[in-house]
Every structure is written in C-alpha cells, then in structure tokens.
Structure 1
Amino acid sequence: MPATNEITVSSTAFSDGTPIPAAYSCTGRNEPPPLTWSVPESAVRLALIMDDPDAPIGLFTHWVVSDIPPTTTFSEEGRTPKGGVVSLNSANLAEYFGPCPPAGTGVHHYRFIVDALSKPVSLTAKTPVAEARSAIEKASIGHGQLVGTYTR
C-alpha cells in the first residue's frame, strides 16, 4: 500500500462538525483549542491555518502558523504549536483570533487545516495573510482538517 499524505486532525475540546466551546472564541479566553494531528513521513515541515469560509466579507483567516517541525504532533490549549512561526491573520495580527462571527449571521464553520509541507516556507510575523496562504499552498503535499461550528 502506498504512503499517504493525508492528515488526521482532532481536538479534545470538540469533535468534527460540532460547536467550538465559547472559551476559544473572541467572547471567551480567545485562545486556541488543543489540537492533535498525524504527520506523513514525507513532511519536511507543517503548517496550520484556521479560517472561516462563512464570513460575510468572504474567507476570513483567523490563524496562520508555518514551519512547524514534523516532530510536533500537537498543540496545547492556549499555545502555538511548538517550533511554529505565526504570521498575520485577516485582522492583520500575528496571533490566534478566535471565532467571532457577527451577530445574526448564522452558524459559521471554522476549519483547522494542517498541511504537510515539502520544504520550509520561511514566513515571518509580518507576512501578509494572502502571501502566507499562497506559500503554504505551493509547498503543500497533503492536508487534513477539523471543522468546528460557532454562532453568536
């Protein structure tokens, strides 16, 4: 059987397709939930993006972490994955920005996407979100995601 580059992403805080606890939102502690992922053997680095495709203004990226070593298979609650570099999100902040949909816009789906990268992407805390997403996409050799929902 050939090796796969697909990644399994999970959290002890919520299951795929279920609500994200308010503690991880902008009205709570606004810190990232605990996450765990599998790592394909071919991964040189990993990247993690959290986004909201249901945002009224279009895709909103809440968190970008790149160049995570392949030996890092989890992130603790409230922490950036060990060895990762955080770049700018759609709010122009180099940090996690929890679920924060405008009131009355219904249920939003927040994707925690982990990409296996073929090479380091060398992003910085000042790399704009579009540039970061593009670099990650170009270096991606496999991915997986966990989707949580949130509404206000």
Structure 2
Amino acid sequence: MSETPYPPHHSGEALSIMKVHPILDTEVVVASTAQRPDGRLDDRHSAYYDNVSPPLSWTAVPDAKAWAVIVEDPDARQARPFVHWMIWNIPGEATGLLEGLPAEPLITPQGAIQGRNSKNGYGYYGPGPPPGHGLHHYYFQVFALDNTLDMNSETSLDELLSALKGRTLASGGMVATYEGPVRQ
C-alpha cells in the first residue's frame, strides 16, 4: 500500500491491510472496471441490486504462489469493519478475478476458498449502507502470498490475518465508494 494508511471511519479497528506487513516493497496495483471514474461502485455490485462480485485485476508479483482478497467497510457503525468478502488460495499466476463468482465456499479458479462475510454467507456481499447513512468506503485489499493457505471456508478473519502475517510478499488495494438510497 501507499505510505498513507487508510484511516478507519466509524469502526474503531484498523483495516486488515494495515495489520499485515509485506516482505517486499513492491506495491500491488488493484483496479476494477466496475468502479466509475468518481470512485463509485456500479449498482449491480451492491446488495440493493444484483449483489454480484465485481471483476478485479491486479499487477503480478514474481514468486507469488497464491493470492488473497479481503474487502472491508470501516464506515459501518460497529466495532470492527464490516467484512464484505474473503477469498484466498487464488492461484499465483492469476492477475484478477472475474465478475460474478458464485457465493459458495469452494470456487474456480481451482482451489480458491471463500470464507464467510459479516452477513454470515459465503463469498461476496455487496455494499448495502443504510439509507441516509452517507457515503461508505469499500477497501479491496489484495495480498500476494508465498504459498497457499491450509485453511477451510470456516476460517475467521482473525485466523486469515494471522496466516497472512509473514506469508505476504506484497499487497495493495483500491477504494470504491457507495451510498444507500436517500430517505424520503
């Protein structure tokens, strides 16, 4: 990530990427065609509409054997950021994820595992900030790993973070925004 850390907004806890210190100084550049020029995520990727995972792309990291992605919203009014997505064991040669991955524990690319989001479902759960709550920020955090992780879909965020420490070669991210409907 860049030298300026992401500040948590409402939650009192730091984002995952701030807790993992990569081995290399290489920054992973993350992007999505689902993000508009103003930073807003397209409606179809929100819980208010189709709730499909957005396509992601990232820069390659030499010697990466696997990738992990964590998406969090620190603007949720709770003690910890809201977890929208945890997926790991994405093959090391991958440079992104396709749109609309199934909400199942085991998915393709071969061997990738999705954990539970804060709604207790598997896979991606799109932005759904309460109406009138204002603009929320969604941190798409990508970690290049030195090997796959021997963890199953019931792995908690804390367990995933512990595994990422010391195994992360490089990391990076992007921030997308979304705002719920305005109250009438």
Task: Provide TM-score, normalisation by structure 2.
Answer: 0.74
CA distance in 1, matches of 2:38, 2:60: 22
The equivalent residue for 1:113 is: 141
Q: Which has the larger radius of gyration?
A: 2
- Structure 1: which amino acid aligns with 2:160? A
Tell me the SS of whatever aligns to 2:49. coil
Tell me the SS of whatever aligns to 1:143. strand
Q: RMSD between aligned alpha carbons?
A: 1.9
Structure 1 stretch displaced more, 71-80 or 113-122: 71-80
**Which structure 1 segments of 5+ residues have no match?**
none
Identity %: 34
**Map of 1:41-52 to 2, 5 A cutoff?**
41-52=62-73
Structure 2 residue 44 is matched with structure 1 residue 23: yes
1:53 to 74, 92, 103: 74
**Map of 1:27-106 to 2, 5 A cutoff?**
27-57=48-78, 58-79=80-101, 82-83=109-110, 84-106=112-134
CA distance in 2, matches of 1:89, 1:27: 17
Could you list the structure 1 runs, at least 4 aligned residues long, displaced by more than 4 angstroms after superposition.
none
Note if contact 2:44-2:50 (Cα within 8 Å) is conserved in structure 1: yes
Q: CA deviation at 1:5?
A: 2.9
Task: Provide TM-score, normalisation by structure 1.
Answer: 0.89
